[in-house]
Structure 1
Amino acid sequence: MNRAQNPDPGASPEDRGRGPGRAGVPRTVAARLARLACRWPIADAGEVEWLARACGNRGPTAYLPRARPDAAWVLHAMYVHESGPGGTTGDAHSSPHRMAGDHFLPDTGPPAGPADALVVGGRVGRTDRPGPEWHRLRWAEQCHRTGEPPVPEGLLPSLWCFTDLLQTGSWPPGIASPSEGSMDRDTWQRLTALLVRHGGGPDLRCLAYYSPMVLMGCEREHPHVREGLLGDASVLYDTPDTEFTPSNLWAEDRSWVLATDCDLMATKVVGPPALIESLVTDGELEAVRLPWAH
């Protein structure tokens, strides 16, 4: 599979028009669908079976593999308004979340906090920086004032890491939460760029699996898998057939795997130590090793 042999149907001026396309589909959406079909066509559903066997489950939310042989969690980006956490008005991020018990490991209990509380104002699915007046807020910066690490021991990266912010049942209006279930655009672009550099190059064949949860319950019996080149990963971010990045993305040679569970606010990356070290030490990403979730 070579990108030079696959001209991009989404690049023509006609496809970039704003009028209706075939079958009444808006031309911009039709162009993105055509580009997706060209760059990342549907693959054999059996391609994901090895991951199911390795993880011991059917991947309803994502397959979370153990270290191969190393692992790190890339924390999804969070932003703060320039006037501070409480310095803006309105509810620009109004998806309600319920703090349930699936955000921590099976052998641990939930921490003290608003258990089973409805949390308003969090972001779900693909997201962008809210605007120019919003600046990156690292998990480590937010957690520094509480004396806790970004992800407390025994937890997975989720709402439970921010119980001090959520005592009122809502994210502060001046904080745009990490996205749940999907990487944000900044994180996706940086992580895939580092994979190109340290994980096999732009022409590495990869596979992408979307769980039934991110496909609104579809494809439960037949896993939804696509195949493409790592250098074309940007195409997957704006695909119109889902609002999430892939639940799993992996190299054809299985040297590394990404996993984004729809209940979590981080993406697990497993692979060789050199690759994982490049993520943990990168100045743009915020990636941490979690020994209890290695």
Structure 2
Amino acid sequence: MAWDPETTDSQDWDERGLRLVAETTAGTWIVDHVHNFDHTVAALVPPVFGSDARIFHPASTIDDDPVRWADAAAANGTIAHPVMEWGSIVGGWRISGQEGLWQDAPATGSLPAATTRALADILRRFTRTRDHCWFAHWEGSGFITPPSNCSRLPMPNRRMVLFSGSIDLADTRFGANRWFPTGMSPHVWWPDDHAWCVATDIDLMTTYLGASADCVDAVLADGALEALPARPDQGITWDSDTINPLPSSPSGL
């Protein structure tokens, strides 16, 4: 697939070619299997796959170069591991940057476009329906204005609007335009054959994947991604890192 970020990253979902779906039954299997917001991976990705992975959104330098969490941990004398949290490895949630290391913290609630493209290039090899995929976006993100009469996918605590298109559109930035090209990624996406499922919660700096063992192994081995194995019962909250020192709550409470 020849991605063209110069022309596509600043286009909203309709310009990219995604289709708004009136009925959300294509996502019923996800709603039926995810846990009821119990703050585990299984609350985001249906625990029906052979394996799971956690994909870390990169931080970035002042020149917009990606910074891996493992490198940030090494520089701060903390430990990189599958349940690490950004605030724990850099020493706090209110740190605005570390000179010579990173300038901007990992994106919250959105899988960056370049990371999405790298992930999608792997996932397309592990589905028979790459041209028929589903993309759900939380209605309260502020990046979409769906019609009031459009059905919502009733994910726990996160009602979502559903779109369809090929896997080539996985990097769509909802709400993007020429003045604000960042936009926001889909929050849940999967192929029609249910071969895998990707979930990015609005409050998290990481994305979770449920898939076959072979698919997850391919993601873990790809140098363009920073990913580690995950478990359905793994915690996803800011205080889930029990190995590194626990900083103050990101809410300040």
What range describes the TM-score normalised by the shorter chain of this pair? 0.5 to 0.7
Contact 1:77–1:186 under 8 Å retained in 2: no
Q: What is the CA–CA distance in structure 1 between the aligned matches of 2:14 and 2:32, rounded to whole Å?
A: 33
Counting only pairs closer than 5 Å after superposition, residues 12-31 of structure 1 correspond to structure 2 as: none
1:283 to 223, 226, 236: 223
Gaps of 5+ in 1: 1-10, 12-28, 82-132
1:47 lines up with 2:36 in the alignment:
no
Relative to the length of structure 1, the TM-score reads 0.59
Partner of residue 152, structure 2: 222
User: Aligned pair 1:138/2:95, yes or no?
Assistant: no
Per the alignment, do residues 213 and 66 of structure 1 end up closer, same or farther by CA in structure 2, a change over 3 Å counting?
farther
- The 1:165–1:152 alpha-carbon spacing in structure 2 relative to 1, beyond 3 Å, is farther
Alpha-carbon deviation of 1:161? 3.5
Superposed displacement of residue 149, structure 1 = 3.1
The structural deviation recorded for 1:232 is: 3.4
Q: Distance in 2 between matches of 1:32 and 1:135?
A: 24
1:65 Cα deviation from its structure 2 partner: 2.5
Which moves more between the two structures, 186-195 or 248-257?
186-195
Q: Given residue 288 of structure 1, which amino acid in structure 2 is its aligned partner?
A: L
Q: Is the 8 A contact 1:57 1:63 kept in 2?
A: no
Question: In 1, are the aligned partners of 2:152 and 2:162 still within 8 Å (CA)?
Answer: no
Which residue does 2:15 correspond to in 1?
Answer: 35
Which residue is 2:55 aligned to? Answer: 74
Q: 1:222 and 1:208 mapped to 2: Cα distance? A: 12
5+ residue gaps, structure 2: 1-6, 154-160, 236-253
One-letter amino acid of the counterpart of residue 237, structure 1: R
The residue that corresponds to 1:93 in the other structure is none
After TM superposition, the structure 1 = structure 2 runs for residues 89-128 of structure 1, keeping only pairs within 5 Å, are: none
Q: Report the equivalent of 2:244.
A: none
Size of the alignment, in residue pairs?
205
Does 1:293 pair with 2:234?
A: yes
1:281 CA displacement: 0.6
Identity of aligned residues (%): 18
Contact 2:45 2:199 in 1 (8 A): yes
